[in-house]
């Protein structure tokens, strides 16, 4: 492998792959292959980064000789957890509790828990003390260790609770991609920003960028494999390349990928407003292969709250980016993340967030009630907002955004849009779901052979939350 960026911290995955193959050979010896192979099941919580990690966990499970199955039929269950809010942690505890019953029926079942939640010492300890049927936990930097943890569990050599705090990049792990033509491509890992509410920097380590040549090689392989959409992933993709020796940034990386042959498109997430360069905005506006959608988390419309969140931009700076983006690309779809009820948030601060929504007119927002995370500075701040106040504000935020969504979606009525057909609609299995430049998916009647391909739709109805289309005949 070309080693131009000497300081890219890489793990040695050779031992992991050897161990996985050793496990597979053991199954093969017992005739446990093909339909007879032991089952694996993976439950994933949280963000796209976790979904991408779970694709690598699936890749490792299949290399170990397991085949995908329902949890009841599995010999290996892996739970990839999220720690961003209390709710996500509760859900993980609850599902792991349910897996206990499967383990009672099948004592040979191996249950492993990984991800952000168990990268926190107090959570790993909880599994150690109170969940005896969990064989091992592993931190976000230790996915490549899973085969050795499985092997140890098979040989009944004791339970393991791994927190290495040795965050490196694991190149070359096998991957089982999701269906539907859209693929995740992690371009960097970790976060350096330490927003005061956020647990991520404590559970995913500092920023590490993958080498551009590794990313391009993966993008080429994905396209050759039929991928129609590639989403570049990282906690803050706008700082991509800062730790590399090469002169590369997110804008030049996207340009390099756009230059690859093929009918595909590119998305990227997540962006941090303090690092969103005009060069990146220009790339979005001018490159045909880049989807005209920008996800730019604002978190709050109040500069004072942003200061206490350690976001390092003001509401005015944020609006400046939005204005430039709209000027360069008038039809851009904008989405954001908002936290309601951050400690010390006053009625005035909250009004400023509502005003931000009115001014920007997002196509969609992802809004969250602030959830204190142990170990983060905001959890220690005075003036925690009472739940009833946060709840009331949250409702007002959603009501305002509903009106804005309806208005924004209306602009698509009667338009022809090219969408990538992602699969069968989750709410109506007689319909398919496709995604175009707009933030919202479009539902339409089609045939399963369309999944994973681009189709042209005419938008025939829109609501605040949904859009329907009809296939345009050529
Ligand atoms: N409470 C509520 N929301 C949070 N987020 C991150 N940490 C917290 C927290 N402690 C939200 C932010 C971030 C999104 C992924 O999750 O809005 O952008
Ligand atoms: Fe968390 Fe802020 Fe990093 Fe995003 S940029 S992962 S919100 S610390």
> Which ligand neighbours the alpha carbon of 236 most closely?
2
Supply angle C-alpha 133, 136, 139, rounded to 5: 140
Instruction: Outline where 329-417 has alpha helix (H).
Output: 347-360, 387-410
Cα–ligand 2 centroid distance for 235 (angstroms): 6
Q: Which CATH architecture has domain 177-290?
A: 2-Layer Sandwich (3.30)
At 407, list the tokens.
């208005």
Cα–ligand 1 centroid distance for 369 (angstroms): 8
pLDDT along the chain (474 residues), means of 10: 55 94 98 97 97 97 98 98 97 96 96 97 97 97 96 96 90 91 96 97 95 97 96 96 96 98 97 96 97 97 98 98 97 97 98 98 97 97 97 98 95 95 88 90 94 96 91 84
Fold topology of 14-162:
Rossmann fold (3.40.50)
- 292-411 classified as CATH 3.30.750.200: yes
- For CATH 3.40.50.280, the residue range(s) in the chain are 14-162
Substitution candidate for ligand 1 out of 191, 197, 233, 385 with most atoms within 8 A of CB: 197
Substitution candidate for ligand 2 out of 167, 193, 337, 377 with most atoms within 8 A of CB: 193
Give residue 120's pLDDT: 96
Q: How far, in whole angstroms, is CA 219 from its chain's centroid?
A: 18
- For CATH 2.40.50.140, the residue range(s) in the chain are 416-471
Cβ–ligand 2 distance for 193 under 6 Å, the answer: yes
Give residue 11's pLDDT: 86
d(CA 414, CA 460): 6
Cα–ligand 1 centroid distance for 85 (angstroms): 7
Atom of ligand 2 nearest to the CA of 199: 1
In this structure, the residue with its CA closest to atom 18 of ligand 1 is: 337
Give the end-to-end CA distance of the chain in Å, rounded to a whole number. Answer: 46
Query: Does the CA dihedral 80-270-461-423 come out positive or negative?
Result: negative
Superfamily of domain 416-471: Nucleic acid-binding proteins (2.40.50.140)
- For CATH 3.30.750.210, the residue range(s) in the chain are 177-290
């Amino acid at each position: 492998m070309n080693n131009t960026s000497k300081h890219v911290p890489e793990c040695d995955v050779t031992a992991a792959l050897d161990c996985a193959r050793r496990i597979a050979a053991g199954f093969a010896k017992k005739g446990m292959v093909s339909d007879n192979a032991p089952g694996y099941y993976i439950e994933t919580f949280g963000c796209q980064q976790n979904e991408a990690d779970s694709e690598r966990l699936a890749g490792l499970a299949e290399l170990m000789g397991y085949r995908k199955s329902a949890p009841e039929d599995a010999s290996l269950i892996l739970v990839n957890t999220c720690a961003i809010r209390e709710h996500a942690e509760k859900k993980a505890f609850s599902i792991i509790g349910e897996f206990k019953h499967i383990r009672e029926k099948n004592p040979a079942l191996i249950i492993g828990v990984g991800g952000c939640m168990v990268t926190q010492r107090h959570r790993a300890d909880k599994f150690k003390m109170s969940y005896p049927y969990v064989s091992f936990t592993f931190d976000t930097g230790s996915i490549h260790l899973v085969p050795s943890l499985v092997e140890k569990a098979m040989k009944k050599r004791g339970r393991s609770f791994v927190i290495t705090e040795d965050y490196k990049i694991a190149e070359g792990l096998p991957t089982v991609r999701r269906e539907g033509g859209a693929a995740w491509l992690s371009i960097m890992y970790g976060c350096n920003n330490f927003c005061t509410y956020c647990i991520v920097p404590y559970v995913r380590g500092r920023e590490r960028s993958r080498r551009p040549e590794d990313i391009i090689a993966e993008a080429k392989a994905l396209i050759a494999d039929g991928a129609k959409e590639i989403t570049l992933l990282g906690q803050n993709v706008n700082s991509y390349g800062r730790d590399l020796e090469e002169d590369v940034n997110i804008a030049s990386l996207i340009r390099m990928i756009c230059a690859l042959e093929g009918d595909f498109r590119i998305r990227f997430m997540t962006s941090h407003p303090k690092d969103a360069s005009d060069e990146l905005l220009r790339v979005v506006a001018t490159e045909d292969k880049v989807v005209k959608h920008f996800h730019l988390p604002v978190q709050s419309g109040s500069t004072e709250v942003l200061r206490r969140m350690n976001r390092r931009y003001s509401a005015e700076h944020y609006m400046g980016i939005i204005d430039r983006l709209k000027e360069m690309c008038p039809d851009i779809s904008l989405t954001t993340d908002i936290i309601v009820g951050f400690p010390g948030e006053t009625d005035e601060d909250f009004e400023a967030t509502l005003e931000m929504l009115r001014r920007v007119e997002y196509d969609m927002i992802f809004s969250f009630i602030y959830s204190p995370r142990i170990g983060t500075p905001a959890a220690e701040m005075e003036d925690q907002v009472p739940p009833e106040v946060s709840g009331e504000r949250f409702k007002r935020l959603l009501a305002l955004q509903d009106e804005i969504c309806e208005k924004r979606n209306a602009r698509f009525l009667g338009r022809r849009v090219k969408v990538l057909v992602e699969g069968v609609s989750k709410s109506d299995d007689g319909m398919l779901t496709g995604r175009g430049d707009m933030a919202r998916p479009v539902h339409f009647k089609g045939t399963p052979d369309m999944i994973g391909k681009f189709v042209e739709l005419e938008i025939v109805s829109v609501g605040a939350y949904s859009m329907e289309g009809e296939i345009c005949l050529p």
